[in-house]
Structure formats: C-alpha cells, structure tokens
Amino acid sequence: MNQEKLIEKSSQYLWLPFTQMKDYDADPLVIESGEGVYLRDIHGKEYLDGYSSLWLNVHGHRNEEINHAIKEQLDKIAHSTLLGASNIPSILLAEKLIDLSPEKLKRVFYSDSGATSVEIAIKMAYQYWQNIGRPEKQKFITLKNAYHGDTVGAISVGKVDIFHRVYKSLMFHSLVAPFPDVYHHPDLDDADEIRDRCLQELEEILREYHHEIAGMTVESLIQGAGGMNIMPKGYFKGVEDLCRKYNILLIVDEVATGFGRTGKMFAVEHEGVQPDIMTVAKGITGGYLPIAATLTTEEIYEAFYDDYNSLKTFFHGHSYTGNQLGCAAALANLEIYKRENLIEKTQEKISIIENLLKPLKQHPHVGDIRQLGMICGIELVIDKESKKPFEWEDRVGYHTTLKMRELGMLTRPIGDTIVFMPPLAANEEELREMVSIMSEAIEMTTKKYAGEKAV
Ligand code: PMP
C-alpha cells in the first residue's frame, strides 16, 4: 500500500491512546520499522527513540536474542491459558523475577499491562484483609499526582487532575496524602523539610484511618506521568515505616522504574524498601511484548490458599495472562542483563546523561532538570526565578516535542516537562545526539518568549 493511503487510513480507522486525534490528523506519523535506538517511519525518516517507545525499550529494537527467543517459542506454542494450568516460560520467568526482586516477595501473578498489574495489586490487597478476617480494611491511600495506569481501579488511586477528573463519579474513593514535590512546593524549598512535612501529614491521615485502610499505592521513588518528580532522600523509607507502624500493605508500582531504569534493578533498592506487593511491566520484556506481573509475599499468598468452598480464591485473570511468547521474551531480556552486566554498565550512561544535561540548566527557560538514573524530565517555564509556567494554551512542551520530531527524535511531553528516557542500550554518541536535538528544539520553541517575565 502506498504511503499516502496508509496515512489516510490511519486517520480513517484508528483512535490513538492519550492523543487528541485532531493533533494527529494535522501531523500523522506512521512507524514502519526500528533498529537499535532508531525508529523509522513509512517515508524512511529516522528518529532517535528518546522515550524508549513509552518507557519500555531496553536493548534497542530488533535485538537478535529477544527476536530469536520469541521465534523459538513460536515454534512450540504461542499461548495457552494460565487458568488452572501453567506453562514452561511462565515458571522459569517467575523464578527469575523472584530472584531479582526484594527479599520479601515470593510469588508472581501475571497480567498484560502496567494498569492490570496495579488493578490486581488493589484487588489482592482488598481481598487479603477479608480473607484474614479484617473486612473493615477496605480503603486505599495514594499520593497527590500519582499515576498508576488507566483502568478504573488504577485511576481510582491516580491523582493527576487532567487525566482523572472527568471520571470522578466512576472511581472508588481513595485517601490522598501530599507528594514531596521539591521544585513545585508552594512555600518550602528545603528537600528535608518538605519530606518531613509530607511524612507528618501522611501520618496524620494514617493515624485517623489506619483501621480502615487496606493498602497504600506508591510509584517507586519517582512519579512519572504526574510530572517526573523525584522523592527527596528518605521519604520512601519513611512511607514504608509508616505502613508498617499502621499495619497497611505497601503496594509499590515499579511499572516505569523497574528493570534498571533508575540505575538499580528496582528503584526500591535505592532505599532498601521491601514492598508487600510490587507491580512490574514495561521493561520486563525489553519492550517487545505486553506482559506484566504483580509480585507478593508468601504471607499474602497463604491468605488465599484454602479449600475452594471457603471462597478465598483470587477470582481474577486475563485471557493472555502468562502468555508464553511474552514470558520467553522476558527471559531472553533478563538473560542479557546478566550476561552484559547491564546494571553496572548503566551507571556510566547515567553520568554521561548528567553531564550532557548540565549546560541545559543555563537556558533561560529550563526551570528544572530532574534525573533519576535514565529517567529525566526537563521542565520548561516562562520565568526561572519565579518558576512561573508558560500559559497552558501555548502548549510549549508539545511544540518542543514536535520540533524534536522534525529534527529526528521522538518523545512526549508531560505538560511543559520534556520526557527524556532513552533505551538503556543507547551509546554515548546517541545520547549526545538526543540531548543536542532536545536543546535545539527547546531553543527554537522558546525563543519567542525571550525576556518575558512573571507579572
Ligand atoms: N504505573 C506507572 C508508574 C506507569 O508509569 C504506567 C504507564 N506509564 C502504568 C502504571 C500503566 O502501565 P500500562 O500503560 O502498561 O498500563
């Protein structure tokens, strides 16, 4: 089919996620292939994959080993159900995940996306308390600006106003504690003070409601879609201590941060946090196939282990749960981490990125650069001193990413924060090229605001 026809049909038949289709129709993009850290569209134009194809890709596109593992599995079987039957790759992967994850986690429950892994975590925590005779523990507590995916359970613990407000009456109610957002805090700028105040406010809520709270959901160390905001040192551990003190299950969302993104296999390792439930997805297959998992403790697992008639069974499962192709891809993906000592190698890339981003700090419209490992957010503001944002209608973040696309790099903004999350496999030259494109696009997009200040 010719290129123009394809573009026409993409606008005629598709409805893309998190996309205003009017924007897409104005400037359609159809990807045809990829290689390493590059994506190629149907016109043959190449783009650096600056968002790891939505925070997934690890070793680059068309990695031979992962491709081979998928093909090999395909010659055995593509899929059989995990309801009442297991399969070889799902067993081997479960063992590997448990080996890699924090000590307390002993069981793996599969699903197929980050949101479903969170949905499962919520239902698991909810039912756990019923199964052990504490049915009054039904509430969830979450953090301001949290994002855990788009299914109804996941949005119920999601607190990003623009994504979630429209569904308000559809969601279950959850309690909300403040997030220690250092850059955007209205009256404090000392990270330790912000941490202590937020922990104090969290404790006040827990003190009052703990007997009704089943679990606390929290993104691991950094809020992604809520703005790329990193917790100050000690906050995450503080949350864990409070969950223990008030007997609340700690549900940690490692969907975006897992598998080396932050410089550790899981971001919980930075503060030695031991979740009761942990969700993983995205990087689990290196970005090749849609599988996810919810990991939990033996204690939680045992609360569901009984005669069928006790109704303690976890009545949850998806058709593609434990899909063999996905598990085979994940096994091959994780094998590369081990053989290549990838986490170790990532440390060097993290410092390269840090150094490359440094000069951007001088730019008059770069308000803040937040980096946790290979997750970066570059926040653009109209006035650095007052941190005043650009007008919402100006869509400066969006226009910057469109400019980046023109210059040969793809990413998506979160408001006016530019997401920079390259595949872990990106080499120094590729990282340099990505940062250079980003700098140029920021310069070109913001130059018309030169000299504009807060009023
Ligand atoms: N949790 C977090 C922290 C995420 O960043 C995301 C996706 N960006 C999700 C959950 C949802 O994952 P998925 O898109 O695979 O449903």
- Look at ligand 1, atom 13, and give the residue with the nearest C-alpha: 114
Q: Closest ligand 1 atom, CA of 223?
A: 3
Q: Which helix (H) or strand (E) holds 40?
A: strand 38-41
Does 455 have pLDDT greater than 60? no
Q: Which of 159, 179, 255 to mutate to test the pocket of ligand 1 (most atoms within 8 A of CB)?
A: 255
Sign of CA dihedral 181, 182, 186, 192: positive
At 450 the pLDDT is 82
Residue 35 β-bridge partners:
38
At 453 the pLDDT is 62
Count CB-CB contacts under 10 A for residue 312.
18
Does 454 have pLDDT greater than 60? no
What is the residue-averaged pLDDT of the chain? Answer: 97
- Its ipTM equals 0.99
Q: Closest ligand 1 atom, CA of 225?
A: 5
Does 407 have pLDDT greater than 60? yes
Count CB-CB contacts under 10 A for residue 255.
27
How many Å apart are CA 28 and CA 176, to the nearest integer? 38
At 30 the pLDDT is 98
Lowest mean pLDDT among 18-32, 39-53, 245-259, 438-452: 438-452
DSSP state of 383: B
Count CB-CB contacts under 10 A for residue 326.
27
Ligand 1 centre to CA of 259 (Å) is: 14
Enumerate residues lining ligand 1, CB below 6 A.
Answer: 113-115, 118, 147-149, 219, 224-225, 253, 255-256, 281
Ligand 1 centre to CA of 120 (Å) is: 13
Known binding-site positions: 114-115, 147, 253, 282, 317-319, 412
| 257 phi/psi in degrees, rounded to 5 | -95, -15
Count CB-CB contacts under 10 A for residue 402.
17
Q: How far is CA 190 from the centre of its chain?
A: 27
Tens-digit pLDDT profile for residues 345-366: 999 999 999 999 999 999 999 9
Q: Are 176 and 193 in contact (CB under 8 A)?
A: no
Residue 39 β-bridge partners:
34, 47
Tens-digit pLDDT profile for residues 413-440: 999 999 999 999 999 999 999 999 999 9
- Look at ligand 1, atom 15, and give the residue with the nearest C-alpha: 114
Q: Are 159 and 148 in contact (CB under 8 A)?
A: no
Ligand 1 centre to CA of 147 (Å) is: 7
pTM (predicted TM-score): 0.98
Angle between helix axes 324-340 and 342-357 (nearest 10 degrees) is 80
Task: Give the residue among 369, 385, 388 at the shortest CA–CA distance from 377.
Answer: 369
Ligand 1 centre to CA of 233 (Å) is: 23
Tens-digit pLDDT profile for residues 126-165: 999 999 999 999 999 999 999 999 999 999 999 999 999 9
Task: Give the residue among 156, 128, 130 at the shortest CA–CA distance from 142.
Answer: 156
At 1 the pLDDT is 80
At 196 the pLDDT is 98
Ligand 1 centre to CA of 117 (Å) is: 9
How many Å apart are CA 279 and CA 108, to the nearest integer? 10
Domains belonging to the chain, first-starting first, are 3-62+343-449 (3.90.1150.10), 67-340 (3.40.640.10)
Q: Which of 147, 219, 417 to mutate to test the pocket of ligand 1 (most atoms within 8 A of CB)?
A: 147
| Cα-trace Rg, the chain | 22
Task: Give the residue among 370, 364, 379 at the shortest CA–CA distance from 446.
Answer: 364
Cα dihedral 320/325/329/331 (nearest 10)? 90
Tell me what the mean pLDDT of segment 31-37 comes to.
Answer: 98
Ligand 1 centre to CA of 283 (Å) is: 11
Q: Where are the alpha helices (DSSP H) in 210-318?
A: 235-245, 298-302
Tens-digit pLDDT profile for residues 257-301: 999 999 999 999 999 999 999 999 999 999 999 999 999 999 999
Q: Which of 55, 110, 148, 412 to mutate to test the pocket of ligand 1 (most atoms within 8 A of CB)?
A: 148
At 400 the pLDDT is 98
Angle between helix axes 64-74 and 324-340 (nearest 10 degrees) is 150
- Look at ligand 1, atom 14, and give the residue with the nearest C-alpha: 114
3-class SS at 416? coil
Q: Are 110 and 275 in contact (CB under 8 A)?
A: no
Count CB-CB contacts under 10 A for residue 65.
15
Tokens 């909300």 -> residue: 176
How many Å apart are CA 423 and CA 116, to the nearest integer? 24
Known binding-site positions for substrate: 147, 282, 317, 412
Count CB-CB contacts under 10 A for residue 150.
18
Ligand 1 centre to CA of 225 (Å) is: 8
Tell me what the mean pLDDT of segment 405-419 comes to.
Answer: 98
Length of the chain: 455
Tens-digit pLDDT profile for residues 188-239: 999 999 999 999 999 999 999 999 999 999 999 999 999 999 999 999 999 9
- Look at ligand 1, atom 1, and give the residue with the nearest C-alpha: 148
Ligand 1 centre to CA of 43 (Å) is: 30
Task: Give the residue among 404, 347, 333 at the shortest CA–CA distance from 63.
Answer: 333
Q: Closest ligand 1 atom, CA of 257?
A: 3
Percentage of residues in the chain with pLDDT exceeding 90?
98
Percentage of residues in the chain with pLDDT exceeding 70?
99
